[in-house]
């Protein structure tokens, strides 16, 4: 009789311990699950950014000195970023790289250069989301190195000849998002960026 009472009490105590453990562990498991969910969405956004940068670089390098090089490159980037909300798109830079894997010049991302739309000294054209989305229908891109939207590194000045000592230019495209997180566990936003560099095709864009 006494043994049954002790077993009953022991069973209740074990059930109580399990309940306490569940209460303690559940928030941790929930946090881990939500974190994995946010990381997954961030990874998806990262793949989209990488694809957009490669697509933009490929289009611009194939067009070379054509007046529509930046215009068509931006239109292709906008299409590749189609699943990304406009509010997350921070900046797109089309720049002259010094090497096949050259990073975007840090100066091209400063507030002053972004406000100006680019830098002739750094040879980069900087575009915001408005310019990116308007590129397909905009008349501001005409290869005019004096006044067009892409004047800071004008397409018509890009090297596309194999007979030049330095060869063809390396053209880079940099894309950056401020990706909104869903759970806010890792902060309100994640900065997701990538770049692609390709050599301008020989004689690309020559009329």
Distances in whole angstroms, Cα of residue 170 to Cα of each of 55, 64, 90, 151, 184: 15, 11, 23, 17, 39
pLDDT tens across 100-121, in order?
Answer: 889 999 999 999 999 999 999 9
Dist. CA 137–CA 131, nearest whole Å? 10
Give residue limits of the domains in the chain. Answer: 2-199
User: In the prediction, which pLDDT does 118 show?
Assistant: 97
- β partners of residue 127: 92
Question: What is the SS3 assignment for 112?
Answer: helix
Q: What is the pLDDT along the chain (207 residues), one digit of tens a residue?
A: 444 544 554 445 556 666 666 667 766 666 666 666 677 778 899 999 999 999 999 999 999 999 999 999 999 999 999 989 999 999 999 999 998 889 999 999 999 999 999 999 999 999 999 999 999 888 888 777 888 999 999 999 999 998 888 889 999 999 999 998 877 776 788 899 999 999 999 999 897
Dist. CA 92–CA 196, nearest whole Å? 12
Can you spell out the DSSP letters for 28-50? Answer: HHHHHHHHHHHHHHHHHHHHHHH
Contacts of residue 31, defined as CB under 8 A and 6 or more positions apart, other chains included, come to 185
User: In the prediction, which pLDDT does 32 show?
Assistant: 64
Dist. CA 191–CA 5, nearest whole Å? 61
Dist. CA 24–CA 63, nearest whole Å? 60
Greatest C-alpha distance within the chain: 103
Q: Which tokens sit at 55?
A: 């697509």
Tokens 């990381």 correspond to 39
Q: Rounded to the nearest 10 degrees, how much is the dihedral formed by the CA atoms of 147, 148, 153, 158?
A: -110
User: In the prediction, which pLDDT does 17 show?
Assistant: 62
User: In the prediction, which pLDDT does 5 show?
Assistant: 43
Dist. CA 98–CA 85, nearest whole Å? 32
Tokens 């040879």 correspond to 123
């Amino acid at each position: 009789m006494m043994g049954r009472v002790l077993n009953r009490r022991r069973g209740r105590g074990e059930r109580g311990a399990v309940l306490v453990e569940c209460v303690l562990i559940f928030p941790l498991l929930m946090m881990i699950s939500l974190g994995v969910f946010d990381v997954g969405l961030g990874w998806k956004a990262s793949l989209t950014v990488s694809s957009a940068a490669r697509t933009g670089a490929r289009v611009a390098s194939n067009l070379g000195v054509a007046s529509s090089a930046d215009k068509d490159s931006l239109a292709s980037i906008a299409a590749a970023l189609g699943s990304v909300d406009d509010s997350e798109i921070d900046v797109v830079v089309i720049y002259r790289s010094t090497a096949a894997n050259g990073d975007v010049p840090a100066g091209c991302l400063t507030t002053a250069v972004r406000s100006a739309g680019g830098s002739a000294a750094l040879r980069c054209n900087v575009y915001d989301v408005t310019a990116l989305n308007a590129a397909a229908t905009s008349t501001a891109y005409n290869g005019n190195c004096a006044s067009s939207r892409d004047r800071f590194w004008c397409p018509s000045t890009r090297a596309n000849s194999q007979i030049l000592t330095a060869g063809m230019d390396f053209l880079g495209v940099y894309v950056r998002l401020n990706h909104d997180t869903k759970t806010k566990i890792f902060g309100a936003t994640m900065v997701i960026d990538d770049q692609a560099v390709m050599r301008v095709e020989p004689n690309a864009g020559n009329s």
